[in-house]
Structure 1
Amino acid sequence: MTSPTTLTPRLPSPLQEVGDERFDRYGLRLLLKRDDLIHPDLIGNKWRKLVPNTEAANGRPLVTFGGAYSNHLRATAAAGRLLGLPTTGVVRGQELAGRPLNPSLARCAADGMRLHFVDRSTYRRKTEPETLAAILRTAGAEEAYVVPEGGSNSAAVRGCRALGEELRGHADVVAIACGTGGTLAGLAAGLTAGQRALGVPVLKGGFLEGDVQALQERAFGARTGSWSLDERFHFGGYARTTPELHAFAKDFEDRHGLPVERVYVAKLLYGLVTLAAEGAFTRGTAIAAVVTGRPFPEG
């Protein structure tokens, strides 16, 4: 088995201040929390979530869940490769079975992950005990350690608390793009009084506030820290983009020399630029944007 030192991160991840006129004109400071540099294979919050779960697995195979473009599936497959653990990815969409794999799923397979496709109705019920047992049985993963979709469980939320602790004293507002909400739940718990966390969901539906609160209650016993969500910047849903978003991301890349991942990071930065123009932040506010990922090559 590969040594666990292969998961050794760069901590704390760098905090980089950037000059950007879209913030400067309102007297705001923009800082980038470069969690994309935390580990070459387990990027950003994926490392923070997965390491506690691989430790809890105690050498057992891993099974987890995600869509066809899931960053979490790729990270879990990479963790399995690095640690010598078998992995199974349960993928939403039975219609994908037998088709050529997209680059994201192909990377999972190259890292040794077995892919098990299920229909969308079954996938929606995957947390129900009977449905989960049936999925694990048909996937041949009955003895595996189950990591939930997005990696968000109590172990992961507690692992993400360190992200907030690393940002104490550095920013007034810490903003992060959200999928399942686990990173926001932990981040907010790690901040100090006077700091607040802002989540920008990349999925539409308006369900995330209840999910984040439930995650905090399970991990810490109660809602913890000051946090809120702005649901306006999902651009149609998970992995959905528009020409406007691509143009914004390309412009940000050109301004700052930073590759901008489109599924999460571009939506976060777009949201912050919009909020700054709306006057959502008082002059003198320092805003830390957590960069949770890097662009994934499509070829």
Structure 2
Amino acid sequence: MNLESIQIDSQVFIKPEYLIHPFISGNKYRKLKYNIEAAKSQKKSTLLTFGGAYSNHIAAVAYAGKIKGLQTIGIIRGEELESKVATNPTLKLAQSCGMQLKFISREDYRNKAKPVFLEGLKSEFDDFYLLPEGGTNSLAVKGCEEILTEKDAQFDFICCSVGTGGTISGLINASKKHQKVLGFPALKGDFLKQDVRKFAKQDNWELIDDYHFGGYGKIKPELITFINNFKADYKIPLDPIYTGKMMYGIFDLLRKGFFPNDSKLLAIHTGGLQGIEGMNLKLKQKGWPIIE
């Protein structure tokens, strides 16, 4: 599925991947495409994966399982969330799609990739197809390589938000030699560079670490204002975890003269809009303005 880019500025265009599907949108659709094919070819009837309270990945896997005829299991970070499913829009959606939710402590969650922990899951749930947190693996990267088309060769910079590194790796692999791929991490930490290097086949990329707003899931009032103004100006919604931070960073860098005046930028809108409802619940608790 290929979508035409939308021009929003003399230099900036947006690839609206969020329009692919309301729940399996953007990079989640791309990441799941070949993994679901692999699960079916291996005769697996169940997908098992991991995520937090408002995880786009959990929502996407649950919905994809529902429409593809696969059972789904979500290992959720935070035991306290078990009693809050009814008031959590993401987990409520996942459960309504038939996903079985297992809530574990944050300490246990940190061990989710360890063989001993995975063996325990196999004993409990029998056979399943394992999807890592965020969905990033070689098949996910393969799917994300399909985001760019030949028409996108006109752009000098390809920009995307970064969570687990899968999407930017696919973009790097599909980019042309003359293009620079810029990643805007949604969380703090140099480990992301290592994650990208596992899959990226070119070195025409850079991570811009100045726009995570304090870390994963952290936001500030100025980001909310930017997101609301952006939607009012361009009729394009942004999520506060990923795309909002990326677009804030792009516009700030434009003001600072980071990009040459004659360059053209393509920003990949990776979706994540289902998380807005959950974020607004937290914003109301703080007494902050909500995302409109």
Q: 1:293 aligns with which of 262, 266, 271?
A: 271
Per-residue CA shift, 1:82-124, capped at 9, x if unaligned? 0111000011112322334411111111111111111112211
Give the structure 2 partner of residue 186 of structure 1.
170
| 2:107 is the alignment partner of 1:121 | yes
Alignment map for 1:3-14 (pairs within 5 Å): 11-14=1-4
2:51, 2:217 → 1: CA distance?
12
2:199, 2:120 → 1: CA distance?
25
Return the TM-score normalized by structure 1: 0.87
Identity of aligned residues (%): 39
Unaligned 5+ segments in structure 1 are: 1-10, 217-222
Shift in Å at residue 168 of structure 1? 3.5
Q: 1:249 aligns with which of 219, 224, 227?
A: 227
SS in 1 for 2:190: coil
Unaligned 5+ segments in structure 2 are: 279-292
Alignment map for 1:1-299 (pairs within 5 Å): 11-19=1-9, 24=10, 29-58=11-40, 59-60=43-44, 61-101=46-86, 102-138=88-124, 140=125, 142-166=126-150, 168-216=152-200, 223-293=201-271, 295-296=273-274, 298=277
1:103, 1:294 → 2: CA distance?
13
* 2:50–2:75 Cα contact (<8 Å) kept: yes
Q: CA RMSD in A?
A: 1.6
Per-residue CA shift, 1:197-238, capped at 9, x if unaligned? 11101011221000110133xxxxxx4251110111111222
2:260, 2:96 → 1: CA distance?
48
Per-residue CA shift, 1:109-162, capped at 9, x if unaligned? 111111111111221121111122223434x2x301001111100111111111
Shift in Å at residue 187 of structure 1? 0.7
Aligned length: 273
1:253, 1:234 → 2: CA distance?
20
Shift in Å at residue 62 of structure 1? 0.2
* 1:69–1:239 Cα contact (<8 Å) kept: no
